[in-house]
Chains A and B, each alone.
Chain A
Amino acid sequence: MNEIRLENIQKAFGKKVALDDVSLEITKGTFTCVLGPPGAGKTTLLRIIAGLERADRGRIIIDGVDVGALPPAERGISFVAQDFALYPHMNVYKNIAYPLKLKKMDPREIDKKVREVAEFLKIEKLLDRNPEQLSGGEQQRVAIARGLVKDAALYLFDEPLTNLDYKIREDMRAEFRKIQQETGQTIIYATSDSVEAISMSQHLVVMNEGIVVEYGNTLKIYNRPNQLFTARYFGYPPMNLIPARVQKETSLETNYFSIAIPPELGKQLKGMNLTAAIRPESLQISQDGMKNKSVVFDSKVLLTDIIGSDTIVHLEGEKGFSDRIRAFVPRAYNALPGTPIKAGFDIKDLYIYDAQAEKLLWKGDV
């Protein structure tokens, strides 16, 4: 019973299907990220769990109770929306205190809790200000404080860090994870940012066009995305996807390299439209030969993006820039455009997808 369960949730706005048969099980005390592009249905899903929206069909079960018909106040959830929605006529203190005031808590108890959470989020100096006097980052912290101040069975955050300064996001990411680790709360967190998803969450729900594409342990999904959509979306920088085919049963061919594969696999893949996928961080580059990698191919440097201690090296693709291949190098690496270069990877890091059905067929490590 110690869980949150969604069963066959269906929701449409007019003719537009927002959620299509969504079923999920969320273990209590874990941090779950819902990852997907804008319009994937993340917000709708969270709003339905919160009770701000009614599902057309399906059940929401929290701690063994079907809460589908309950108003938000009786579900024991806390919800922080993307647009902050700080009450404009209340100062910061009153904003944070409001959920507790509704619970008719003792004013001294309220005061203690508000100050605690304000200190935790480093906004104790802002308590007397009005929302319009705060910067975007400060408003966000206040909204998060208002979300965290009450005890809830489930905390929902809808892209809380979007539109914030990059540096604030970096700190808040760690903050969120710490909050969850220290309090053991159940958090569902919607985001369109892969970095947030991988760095914060234990469980991951990948969504696209109202459908749950994949669901499970975050690192497991990262290491083995079963769906092409996940491979394409989940990763920073995104995975390299290269058209591939099997003509002779013993080798997989792309325009960059060909790899020997077991004949049984070859038989299965022959004639299919395939996509070979390699994570940028699995791709090693070097100007000299590479002995330790099982597959090596020649290319040219298009651009190097040095981001402090990391570099994204863009290699020339078939069509030049538009289908470039990216390699992630965890150090500063500089090369002039046009420099010939060798790129290599281990066969264990190679994924093969069915390009039509968009499903994982084979991964090199099995």
Chain B
Amino acid sequence: MSATKQAKKSRLRQIIAVVITFGYFSPILWLIMTAFKKRIDIFAIPPKFFFVPTLDNFRYSVGRGMFWGPLINSLVMSVLAVCLAIVITIFAAYAISRFRVPASKFIMFLVLSLRMMPPAVVVIPMFLMYRLLGMVNTHVGMVLLYTMFSIPFTLWMLKGFIDELPRQFDDAALADGANPLQVLKDIILPQLGPALATVIIFNMIFVWNEFLFSYILTGPETRTMPVQIAMGIYTDKGVDWEYVSALSTIYVLPVLAAIYVLQNNLLRGMTFGTIRR
């Protein structure tokens, strides 16, 4: 008797869990569904859950222009900025973790405080600086900006990971005749897999999602997806739902794909240090 009661209870729990998960995911689902609906279906009341999917919206958006440009900008900037940030940071993280770097605590504080600063506070000075340097509306300028914003998180994460790697391996390699750079290359880097996955994902998402700086500092040639979505909403005929939904769907797909592929590593990365190997 109690067994059937138990089963009923757990069934109920499952249903609740499914409902909550569905609620959580519904905005994205709504968005993706909209992208595949005809204009009439988009505005149907009550909303239509069953419809004949169509690629019309995508065809229309490509035709409208400002479709491939922002997508490529977003992709290139996020990949370049994240790679650059990792290359620069890995040396810093290794140095701060393993050697006595003067004022390393202060450096870490400074770097992190940059990240914690509300963007709205620094965006105007940034704009003035960039204008002075002639870097407004340039690809290089934007990549450098995002690199700078990716560094703090990367540094904190990588330093934490390297701190957790047993020093005995460093010592063994040093005694084997390696110099510190070789230790980094041969011993530390190969063990940083999960850490790098975590850092790549989080920074990519940050750059990919970033709106404010892109809005202020880019022009039509360097504009990224979030800004283009915002700016492309209104047209002469009112809100252009077809364009926004198609663009947004394209926009979320890489993020979902990346998280799906790297989720195991991500999980390992985020729990690193809490569970001993």
Contacts and interface: CB of A to CB of B under 8 A. Distances in A.
Given A85-B168, A102-B182, A79 B175 contact: yes
Contacts of A156: 175
Interface string A141-171: 0000010001000001000000000000000
A103 B177 contact: yes
Interface in A83-107: 83, 85-89, 98-99, 102-103
A51 B168 CA distance: 14
Interface string B152-179: 0000000000000010110111111111
A85 B170 CA distance: 9
Interface stretch (B40-48, B117-125, B138-146, B184-192): B184-192
A363 B175 CA distance: 44
Given A85-B166, A89-B190, A89-B191, A99 B171 contact: no
Contact of A52 (B174, B177, B186): B174
A150 B177 contact: yes
Contacts of A73: 174, 177-179
Given A71-B179, A98-B186, A88 B174 contact: no
Nearest to B187: A87
B186 to A, nearest CB: 7
Interface residues of A, number: 24
Given A87-B187, A88-B191, A89-B190, A99 B169 contact: no
Nearest to A72: B174
A343 interface: no
A98 B191 CA distance: 16
A86 B169 CA distance: 7
A344 B177 CA distance: 56
Contacts of B166: 85
Interface in A243-294: none
Contact of A102 (B169, B171, B176, B190): B176
B169 A85 contact: yes
A156 B172 CA distance: 12
Nearest to A51: B174
A50 B173 contact: no
Contacts of A50: 175
A142 B44 CA distance: 72
A73 B180 CA distance: 10
Nearest to A150: B177
Given A85-B168, A85-B169, A87-B169, A77 B191 contact: no
Contacts of A81: 168, 171-172, 175
Contacts of A146: 172, 176
Contacts of B176: 78, 98-99, 102, 146, 150
Contacts of B169: 85, 87-88
A72 B174 CA distance: 6
B175 A87 contact: no
A88 B166 CA distance: 11
Which of B172, B175, B182 has the largest count of A CB atoms less than 10 A from its CB? B175
A78 B171 CA distance: 11
Interface in A54-93: 71-73, 77-79, 81, 83, 85-89
A39 to B, nearest CB: 19
A177 B122 CA distance: 69
A52 B175 CA distance: 8
Nearest to A103: B177
Interface string B89-123: 00000000000000000000000000000000000
A50 B187 CA distance: 19
Contacts of A98: 173, 176, 178, 186
**Nearest 10 Cβ contacts at the A-B interface:** A79-B175, A85-B172, A99-B176, A85-B168, A89-B190, A72-B174, A73-B177, A102-B177, A52-B171, A83-B168
Interface of A: 47, 50-52, 71-73, 77-79, 81, 83, 85-89, 98-99, 102-103, 146, 150, 156
Given A85-B168, A98-B173, 10 more contacts: A51-B175, A71-B179, A72-B177, A79-B175, A85-B166, A88-B169, A89-B191, A99-B176, A102-B177, A103-B177
25 contacts: A50-B175, A52-B174, A71-B174, A72-B175, A72-B177, A73-B178, A73-B179, A81-B171, A83-B168, A85-B166, A85-B168, A85-B171, A87-B173, A89-B190, A89-B191, A98-B173, A98-B178, A98-B186, A99-B177, A102-B176, A102-B182, A146-B172, A150-B176, A150-B177, A156-B175
